[in-house]
Amino acid sequence: MKRTLHANKDFMNAALPPLPADFEREMKELILSMPAGRPKREEKTVKRKFSVGLALACLLALLAVTALAAVLLGGRDFVDKIMAPKAAETSSDSFTKEEIEEILRIAAENNLVLSDEDMYRLTHLDETGYFKEELMRRFVKTEYGFYPHAWPIEVQHWYEQMLIAVGLQEGPQVNVLPEGDERTQEEILQIARDFIHEKYDPDADLDDSDKYRRFMTYREFQLGEGMKYRQWNLNYEALDLYGTDYCLALDSAGNIKNEYTVDGIFGASYLTHGQYIFDRFMRVYGDQYGFINWDSEMLLQYQKAMRRRLTMEEYAPFLDREYPILNMTYLIPDDTMISKEAAIEKAKEACGNQDYDTLYSHSQVAVCMEADGKPVWKVTLKVQGGYVYAQLDAKTGEALTVDTDQTADFAVWREYVTEEYWREHRLQPSSFHDTPTPNPVPGWRLPAFWGNTDVAPEWYWERLNATGYSEETEDELYLGWVEQYGYDTNFWPLEAQAIEILTQLGDEPNLDVINFPGLPTNGDISQEEALSIAKAAFKQEYAEAVPDLEVSTLTGAFSFWFNYQYEGHNAWEVNLYRPDGVRLGAVWMESRLGEVFQLESFDSRAPGLRTRDVSFAQPMTTPAPLENGRPWMWGMDFAPQEHWEKLGQIVDEWGVTVENFDQKYAEWCVLYGGDSAMWPYECQVMEQFFSSWNAENFSEERVYYHSFPKEGKLTREQAIEIALRAVHEAGDERVGAAWIDDLKCNAVFDVNAWVDALYQSDEPLWIVTFFGWDAEYGYWTQRAYAYITEDGEVILADLDLYSNG
C-alpha cells in the first residue's frame, strides 16, 4: 500500500526554488530605496526644479563647508547643507560610488555614524551607486530616529520640501504645517491626551518615550476643484507587550474624526488576534529589518498569549504557522546548562569551518527546549545559501545532531522546534533526482473536450467558435479583448470569459464539480434585468452597514455559469463597481427567475459573503416524479429495500411529496432556521432525496446518501456522544474544553460517505459535525468533526480550524 503523503507549507516551500541570493539583495535594496511618491528601479530623467534660491543655497553651502568644518553637523544639517546640494547637481536619482565615498568621509568628520549593515552595504557598492533619497533618509534618522512618522512634523515637512526642491519627489507637498487659525501641534496633542485619559485610561503616560512611541503626521489631501482637507494622524504605540495602542485622526480644527485602540497580547479586543500578537512581539523585540531573534522567555510568553487567544477566537491562518511552536516545551536555561553564547560556539565547532553570517540579528539563533525529556540547545546558523541546524545537549554541549538545509528560508520555523519534531512532521531530504520528470505543458490550446455536446450543447460551442478563436488567433483575440475591455475579465464578453476559463482547464478536468462558464439563452433573464435585481438586492442587504451606498452610480460586469456550485442551477453573477473602478461586491442569482441566493461585499464596513434561502426552480433535466409523489430515484437498487421502507414511513408521516416539497422546505426554514444542518434528521434526509439530486449528474455507481442506522447498531444520540468525547480528546489542549462544548452539533448516517473529501467509505458512517457561529459571514461554519462506524469505532476526529465560511 502506498504510504500517505503529507503536503504542508514546508513541503510546498521546499518544492519550489529558494529565493536566489543575488536577487534577494537586489530586491531588498529596491524595497528600501523607494522614494516617497515615486518608485525607482531604472534611472529616469528627473524633473529638476533648480530655483535661484537653491542655486544660492548651493553656493553658500560650498563656501560654508570649510566654515562649518569647525562645527559638527547633526543629521539634518548634514543632509540640508551637504547632501541636498550634492543631490541637486545631477538629474540622477542615485549618488555614484565616488560621491558616496566623499559623503561618508564628510560624515565621519562630523561624527555621523550609520549602522554596520548600512556601512557594509555602502562600502560594497557596484557601479550603480546608491539611491539619493534612501541615503539622505538614513542620515536624518541618525538625529530623529528610525521612524519618519515619529519625526517632529516640522522635520517631516522640511524633508519632503527638500526632496521636492532637489527634484527627487514631485509635488504638491503632502506633509504640511498648521497655519492661520488651525490648531497647533501642541493643541492637538493636548486634545488627544485629554480624550484618551477621559475615555480609556487616566493614567496612560503618553509622553513617556520609554512607554509609548508616538507617530504623528499632518497631511493635506486634494479633494479636487481646489478643495483641500487636512488631517492629523496620531498613533501611540505601547512599547511593551501588554499596553494599549491608541490611534486617532483629527481634522485641522481638532475634532476627532476617528479613533480606535488595540490591546496588548492579553487583551480582549477583537483586533488582538494572532497576527497582532505576533506584530506586538515584533515591535518590542524585533530589529529594524523586521526580524526577531527569539529566545526561550519570549517564546514562552508567545505561547501563553497565543493559547489564550485561541481559546477566545480562531485565527485559522495563523495556526498553520504557529502550531509547531505551541507544541514545544521551551526552557529557561539554568546554571546546570551551558550558556547561549557557549551553545553557539559549540555548534560552530560541530558544524565545521563555514562562512557564518553575522550581519543580521537572526543570523545566529539559539533556543533552549526539551527534546525527548532532556534539555537541549537548538542552534541555527545562517551560512551562504542556507542554514545549518545543530541540536546540542544543553548540559554538556555535545552535538546530538547536525544538519544543513540549502532549501529553507527564514520563514520556516525550524529554528524553534526540536529536530525530532522536524523530522517527524517535515520532509526528509533525500538524494537529488538527476532525471527530472518532464512537466506536461499546461497548454494554450483547445482542450480535448472542446465541442463535446455531452459537456455543453451544440449552440454553446457554435457561439464560442463564432469568436474565431483558435491557436493561431489566440494572441490577437486576447490582446484585442484586453485593449477593448481591460484586464478585468468580468468586463469581457461572456464568450471571451468562457474561452479564457476553458482553455486553462487542461484536457481532463473533472467537469462534474465545476462552475462551468456558461452562456444565457432566451429562457434566462436579460443582463439588464439581472443588473437591476443585483442592485436592489445589494442595497437591501448592505444599506444599513453602508449608509452612503449609492447603487444608482454602480456599473455591472457579468458572468454566467452553468451548473453553479454543481447544484444544477444556472446563475448570473453580477459584479458591481463603483464609479472609481473599485469592485464593491457581487450578486449571484438563479438565471431564469432571478432569485438572489448569494451576495458578497468588499466594503470594509460590511465585508463577506451572505447567502439567502431560496426555492430554486426545479432543474429542467430532472425526470418527472413518480405517480405517488415520490422523487424520481425512489426505489432504485443503490439503496436496500429497508432504506426505502423506512424513508417512506417518514415521508408519509410528514406528508411530503415532490409537489409540496418547496412549501415544506420553506416551513422548515421558518421552524428550524435556514441551515439544514440544524434541522431534525428526518428533514435532512428528505431534503437530500427531494431536492438535492440532479438526474443529469446521477450515476448509480456508489451513490452517496443519508440513511438510517440498523437495529442494534449505534443510534444518532450515541454517535454524537462518542464524537464529542473524541473531539474533546483531539482538541481540549488546543482550544479548551469550553470552546468545544459551546459548539452546535449535527450527525448524519451516510452510505458511501466521502471521507476527507475524496475517498468513499466502504461501510456506512456517522458523520458528526460541530458548528460555531461565524459572525463575519452570518452563518454556521464547521469547527470540528468525527467519523464513526455503526459499531462505534472512531475513524477520524479532529478540529477543523481552517474553515472560515
Partner 1 sequence: MADRQEYERVAQEALPMLYRLAMGILRCDADARDAVQQALLKGWEKKENARPGKFRWYLTRIVINEARNIQRYRMRVFPTELPPAVVQMSPDYRELYDAIFALSEDLRLPLLLKYMQDLSEKEAAQALGIPVTTFKNRLHRARKALRKTLDREVTFE
Distance between the two ends of the chain, CA-based, in angstroms? 35
- 598 touching partner 1, by CB under 8 A: yes
For partner 1, give the closer residue by CB, 99 or 595: 595
Residue 432, all three cell numbers: 537529488
Q: Answer yes or no whether residue 17 interacts with partner 1 by CB under 8 A.
A: yes
Among 180, 202, 224, 440, binds partner 1 (CB under 8 A): 440
Cα separation, 128 vs 42, in Å, equals 10
674, amino acid identity:
G
Q: What's the CA gap between 450 and 456, in Å, rounded?
A: 9
Pick out residues in 404-433 that bind partner 1 (CB under 8 A). 406-407, 409-411, 427-433
Q: Is the Cβ–Cβ distance between 299 and 336 less than 8 Å?
A: no
Smallest gap from Cβ 326 to partner 1, in A, equals 14
How far apart CA 459 and CA 463 sit, in angstroms, is 6
Residues 6+ apart with CB under 8 A from 390: 346, 347, 350, 351, 378, 379, 380, 381, 399, 401, 402, 403
Cis (ω within 30 of 0) for the bond into 520? no
Residue 769 grid coordinates: 459535525
Cell numbers that stand for 61 in this block: 553651502
Looking at the Cβ atoms of 179 and 432, the one nearer to partner 1 is 432
3-state secondary structure of 373: coil
Query: Considering beta carbons, is residue 109 or 116 the nearer one to partner 1?
Result: 116
Cα 188 from chain centroid?
36
Question: Which of the residues 463 through 522 are near partner 1 (CB under 8 A)?
Answer: 478-479, 487-488, 501, 504-506, 509-510, 513-515
What the block records as the C-alpha cell of 7 is: 503536503
Q: Hey, which residues between 124 and 153 contact partner 1 (CB under 8 A)?
A: 147-149
Q: Which residues neighbour 644 within 8 Å (Cβ) at sequence distance 6 or greater?
A: 634, 635
CA-nearest of 29, 46, 235 to 125 is 29
Binding mask 176-215 for partner 1 (x = CB under 8 A): ----------------------------------------
Restricted to residues 37-66, the positions that interact with partner 1 (CB under 8 A) are 39, 41
- Binding residue (CB under 8 A) for partner 1 from 53, 436, 523, 547: 436
Site string for partner 1, 551-570 (x = CB under 8 A): --------------x-----
Under rule CB under 8 A, residue 7 binds partner 1: yes
- Least separation in angstroms between residue 610's CB and partner 1 is 11
- Quote the least distance from Cβ 27 to partner 1, whole Å: 6
Burial 337-350 (b: 16+ CB within 10 A, else e): bbebeebbebbbeb
Give the CB-side neighbour count of residue 704, counting CA atoms within 13 A. Answer: 15
Residue 27 touching partner 1 (CB under 8 A): yes
DSSP label at 565?
Answer: G
Report, in Å, the least distance between residue 797 CB and partner 1. 15
Can residue 759 be called a binding residue for partner 1 (CB under 8 A)? yes
**Does 172 help bind partner 1 (rule: CB under 8 A)?**
no
Q: 597 near 572, Cβ under 8 Å?
A: no
Binding flag, residue 736, partner 1 (CB under 8 A): no
The length of the chain in residues reads: 805
Segment 603 to 642, residues that bind partner 1, using CB under 8 A:
604, 608-609
Nearest distance from residue 603's CB to partner 1, in Å? 11
Query: Binding residue for partner 1 (CB under 8 A) from 275, 354, 628, 649?
Result: 275
Q: How many CB atoms lie within 10 A of CB 739?
A: 20
Q: Which residue is listed with cell 481540549?
A: 732
Q: Does 24 bind partner 1 (CB under 8 A)?
A: yes
Q: What does the per-residue mask of binding to partner 1 show for 378-407, with x meaning CB under 8 A?
A: ----------------------------xx
In the window 576-595, what residues touch partner 1 (CB under 8 A)? 586
Residues facing 759 on adjacent strands: 755
For the bound state, the minimum distance from the C-beta of residue 106 to partner 1, rounded and expressed in Å, comes to 27
Q: Is 773 in the site for partner 1 (CB under 8 A)?
A: no
Q: Pick between residue 446 and residue 719 the one whose CB is nearest to partner 1.
A: 446
**Rounded Cα distance, 771 and 767, in Å:** 13
Closer to partner 1 at the Cβ: 147 or 773? 147
* Euclidean distance between CA atoms 3 and 281, whole angstroms: 40
Minimum gap (Å) between residue 609 Cβ and partner 1: 6
User: In the complex, what is the shortest distance from the CB of residue 522 to partner 1, in angstroms, rounded to a whole number?
Assistant: 27
- Here the cell at position 158 is 522640511
Amino acid identity at 148: P
Task: Give the cell for residue 245.
Answer: 495602542
Sequence-ordered list of residues with C-beta below 8 angstroms from that of 84, at least 6 positions apart, any chain: 136, 162, 165, 166
Residue 699 touches partner 1, criterion: CB under 8 A: no
Q: Does 441 bind partner 1 (CB under 8 A)?
A: yes
3-state secondary structure at position 304: helix
In the complex, minimum distance from the CB of residue 120 to partner 1, in angstroms, rounded to a whole number:
17
Who contacts 140 (Cβ-Cβ below 8 Å, separation ≥6)?
75, 76, 79, 148, 151, 155, 159
Among 313, 320, 544, 645, binds partner 1 (CB under 8 A): 320
222 contacts partner 1 (rule: CB under 8 A): no
Residue 506 C-beta: closest distance to partner 1, Å: 4
User: Residue 257: CB partners within 8 Å, gap ≥ 6?
Assistant: 231, 249, 250, 251
For position 702 contacting partner 1 by CB under 8 A, the verdict is no
Q: Which of 28, 47, 199, 710 binds partner 1 (CB under 8 A)?
A: 28
Q: Which of residues 280-309 bind partner 1 (CB under 8 A)?
A: 282, 289-290
Question: With contacts defined by CB under 8 A, how many residues of the chain interact with partner 1?
Answer: 90
HEC profile for 358-387? CCCCCCEEEEEEEECCEEEEEEEEEECCEE
Q: How far is the CB of 213 from partner 1 (least distance, A)?
A: 11
In whole angstroms, how close is the CB of 239 to partner 1 at the nearest point?
15
Q: Is residue 33 within 8 Å of residue 40, measured between CB atoms?
A: yes
Q: How far is the CB of 363 from partner 1 (least distance, A)?
A: 15
Return the range that interacts with partner 1 (CB under 8 A); candidates 250-258, 297-305, 601-609, 639-647: 601-609
762 near partner 1, rule: CB under 8 A? no
Output the smallest distance, CB 4 to partner 1, in A. Answer: 4
**261 is a contact residue toward partner 1 (CB under 8 A):** no
Q: How far is the CB of 644 from partner 1 (least distance, A)?
A: 30
